[in-house]
Structure 1
Amino acid sequence: MGAKEHQHGRRRGVLDLEAQFAFFRSQHRHPVNAAAHALLTGPILFTNLLILHFLPLPLPSQLDDPALALALAYAAAYLAVDRRAGALAGLLFLAAWAASRALAERLGFVRSWKLVLATQLFCWTWQFLGHGLFEKKGPTVSDLPEVFLMEPFLIFLQILNKLFGYEPYPGFCKNVDRKIEADLKERRELEQRKAT
């Protein structure tokens, strides 16, 4: 199932939506950090798509556009974890791919690269500051592949939940809250054991 070791001994599958959402929410508890991620993850992804239009990668001839390959991979992953929200997120990814392609053709490589560099530096700086200054922690290196794949969808899911009360299935948010509480309890117990 592609599980990785969680920081506190639990295993979290890449497509285990409850565990991924609980981990995401536990890493983004401070409002400033949560807002930074909600606002800046989209521009990071969009500029990733933008620069991929200029990179020649060895892909099958049917899929010779690396940006389209990335958009389709994200869309497929999101459909796998939740059909309704995943379908909407997949459509947004394909719209971003089309917009990035049009922008790449309009700007050309040099201006696109400058835009990508400035956007990535700004957005990543604020993401790291959000974790360092406000959360005092961030994902570990072993969490990064899952974070890169799942975080955009988890942000989207959180927005759908806050604005429309959307849940992938009844009881999803309660299950996530229980997982977060269990994780916080485990952290407190570990800290108490270290202190004694």
Structure 2
Amino acid sequence: MGAAKAAAARRRGVLDLEAQFAFFRSQHRHPVNAAAHALLTWPILFTNLLILHFLPLPLPLPVDPALALALAYAAAYLAVDRRAGALAGLLFLAAWAASRALAERLGFAASWRVVLATQLFCWTWQFLGHGLFERKGPTLNELPEVFLMEPFLIFLQILNKLFGYEPYPGFCKNVDKKMEADLKESRELEQRKIT
């Protein structure tokens, strides 16, 4: 089953927005799990930025690691959708600025406690959301893809639900078709596993 999921991930392509959004929606169908991810993914990223401000570097870099991460996310999101990507990129830059200010205010020891508590709480609820409500574990073999795209997919879903935003006309219909295909493939894999 792991090989099949890895093959499906390769077919999707990290920056294939339709396929990524369809897969994300197919993995987060239960409202409690979807809410847990919507509420807890961005705090994970924020605390990642927070702790990066204290990362000891062997060589001086022209940009701090937290800013480099924020810029990398912003660039990836701009690559998949200019309008929503620009807004998400601005959110990342705001998160970088806020995490920098918080790091300066708290110092390393207090920041580390905030990061640890937040990460433990958020990750626990995300795993529980998958296990208890979706009845299947998260796709751990796709973690790099998840770390990169999930915050944007959550943001895109919020824009779609609140404002009817679509990157282009027909996007949601295409996503629905791909989501049904993902669900069908998942059901077939589960059936093969049972027999």
User: Per the alignment, do residues 111 and 183 of structure 1 end up closer, same or farther by CA in structure 2, a change over 3 Å counting?
Assistant: same
Question: Is the 8 Å Cα contact of residues 19 and 179 (structure 1) preserved in structure 2?
Answer: yes
Distance 2:103 2:193 in 1: 53
Partner of 2:182: 183
Distance 1:17 1:62 in 2: 32
Partner of 2:12: 12
The 4+ residue runs of structure 1 with deviation greater than 6 A are none
Partner of 2:23: 23
Q: 1 or 2 for the larger relative contact order (CA 8 Å, sep ≥6)? A: 2
User: Per the alignment, do residues 194 and 50 of structure 1 end up closer, same or farther by CA in structure 2, a change over 3 Å counting?
Assistant: closer
**SS, match of residue 101 in structure 2:** helix
**SS, match of residue 56 in structure 1:** coil
User: Per the alignment, do residues 113 and 190 of structure 1 end up closer, same or farther by CA in structure 2, a change over 3 Å counting?
Assistant: closer
Question: Is the 8 Å Cα contact of residues 6 and 12 (structure 1) preserved in structure 2?
Answer: no
User: How far did 1:24 drift?
Assistant: 0.4
Question: Is the 8 Å Cα contact of residues 127 and 138 (structure 2) preserved in structure 1?
Answer: no
Render the CA deviation track for 1:96-154: whole Å, top value 9, x for unaligned. Answer: 10011001001111111111111111111101100110111233332110000000000
User: How far did 1:188 drift?
Assistant: 3.4
Question: Is the 8 Å Cα contact of residues 19 and 176 (structure 1) preserved in structure 2?
Answer: yes
User: Per the alignment, do residues 84 and 59 of structure 1 end up closer, same or farther by CA in structure 2, a change over 3 Å counting?
Assistant: farther
Q: Following superposition of structure 1 onto structure 2, how do residues 74-85 of structure 1 map, counting pairs within 5 Å?
A: 74-85=73-84
Partner of 1:53: 53
Q: Following superposition of structure 1 onto structure 2, how do residues 116-195 of structure 1 map, counting pairs within 5 Å?
A: 116-192=115-191
User: Per the alignment, do residues 141 and 191 of structure 1 end up closer, same or farther by CA in structure 2, a change over 3 Å counting?
Assistant: closer
User: How far did 1:48 drift?
Assistant: 0.6
Superposed CA RMSD: 1.8
Give % identity: 88
The one-letter amino acid of 1:147's match is V
Partner of 2:85: 86
Partner of 1:103: 102
Q: Larger deviation: 26-35 or 48-57?
A: 48-57
Distance 1:190 1:126 in 2: 26
The one-letter amino acid of 1:166's match is Y
Structure with greater helix share of residues: 2
**SS, match of residue 61 in structure 1:** coil
Render the CA deviation track for 1:56-102: whole Å, top value 9, x for unaligned. Answer: 23566321x11001100100000000000000000000001001100
**SS, match of residue 5 in structure 2:** coil
Distance 1:53 1:8 in 2: 33
What is the total number of aligned residue pairs between the two structures?
A: 191
